[in-house]
Structure 1
């Protein structure tokens, strides 16, 4: 059995909504709280399957963690050298963030560990993390073609390196910085384009010095982290579905509350505004070192744009729903420089192009992006290929479809947005969740 969504066409989104906590920040709060000294209290924690997988991994390494209860978690840190060797494989579920960041953190431990995950995660490439970690002295064995599971032979002899990323990736950057906490000397990572900086911000919140100069960020090994309080803002990646919904559905007026607007994450806002979206930031404030605001979105006619390359890394997780915005825009939208989308929970370029075409959208996939010509489109059956963001994107697409949309393989939505269907209904989408027989997937 699998989960599918059936969404009736048309509708308007209105009201106020707070989406779940930021997944990236939730992961990092557990990781750094676990290796800090003292008790870290977290509020707004995302109780999705990905973040819970990270929590259970640290419990398996001897970290006492209470919760979550209504987004509240208490982590009793064991210090940078207090993790214990796990007695079983560490299951990351569907979470690539967990696996890639943990590869760096575990590389500096005095024990061996095995990182595994579900079938989807075990298909995802890990060499872009394991190869630079090997330069630091890490020894990590992978399955064929550099895929999970990862066997991490921890060592206390990591050495700091200066590494320049070929492709902008916050996960690779963060893995190297976490390994750098355990390395001798300085570890520096230079990015070809800015990516989300939650790791750097949170390290500073835990009292760990981080040096930043231009596109380079550095840490010195051997320091200590001090417990603190972390308030997790609402996830802009989850808010993005409703920002697009409010933009494309006539008559919409929706306010999303307490959304994180970290400058390294607001590419989706910049792209939508370039397309003509009516989005207003209200009540901006700072919470736990992260900027937040309430976002009001009202319907506006969108136009196609050529997305500037510098905005692509800042919106990499939001492109599935941005492709839907492009399908509703007048004219052509072109996205390039987004090859990272090929190695997400699915090949998001291929899977989104396949689904859009099934609805009648002109969508031309390219090696590093997509070309979409907006216009009217119909309903139909699309396959999310187990990708949570693809599933939610096509649910939003129904607001402008001429017929109902059925979306297959939606169970993984719980990894990032538990309660999505109820939230979507509460603001106006006519969506139902069903248990359905698994169906064969088309080629991508």
Structure 2
């Protein structure tokens, strides 16, 4: 794998930088400076994703004939790296990176025509209906029933930890259509409208103390919700196959570019904050050692991602190796938020609103300190979602190492 950039690659890099300088406006930068997780509220997300769509860059991994960019592997690497280093919002993955690949691979022509264009343009917002109370990492144990009634399925049960369900127009959902045989063999994959009668959404509070517009997760209840059979992806009772395909994309994302930017921010914070001896925190040997160890881990992850995604561009599936990326990336994310919290110190604490003595702005200290604690608490979930890291290690042991 040749990592040297050609003159054409360098020209493309400058093109991306010039576009970001114009498209990533002051309002978006101001919002992102206070983001706890790299995303914005729905209005901000749609604004940014439509800018990418208008430039033709919103779906680098899609086939060109469906709206993809046609980037070479080096261009894809440059593009992702420049967005990450500039600190731009992460495009919402639910439609673009998770549901769309399943529709492309297993959907009918009618489903592709109905759903792919509005996913690409961010005119339709998606959420994921996988986990249930009692069925998280053991996803095959899900119980939400879908009983066939003529041309419809009738759904009863609930989904939990549903990110941004309150914003979603559609959900891609796993349901139980059979109780015969192995649990994996009775699951189907449905697409359903979130305004269907019988759906109720209840927000779930989280430790990161979300500000207005940042509430993330919900529980979604289904009471005799009717979904057309025509909204099923692929065959009945084959949804587990499609779900595993989708999880390769959920777990196999590139982490390194964002981690590099996060470490750069920690270094900057450490030049502003003081160590115990009164000098700059960045000059403290113990703190510098922690940054160095994380930088080594991130550079190693970056090299691994380049190797894997280079193979993917040649037609190779990510497969079970995506579990390795998920473990290494999520644990590095958590370590960086911990280091950020250490750098900010006591100024991180006031993010908790004191109900006995409320203040006008609710925070003390510099602006850069405000997201430190919310980000720390938010990223506790990174080693749990998309299948806990313990489960990922079992997958690697079996399918990668052959143990």
Query: TM-score normalized by structure 2?
Result: 0.27
More strand by share: 1
More helix by share: 2
> Which of the pair has the greater relative contact order for Cα pairs under 8 Å at 6+ separation?
1
Query: TM-score normalized by structure 1?
Result: 0.26
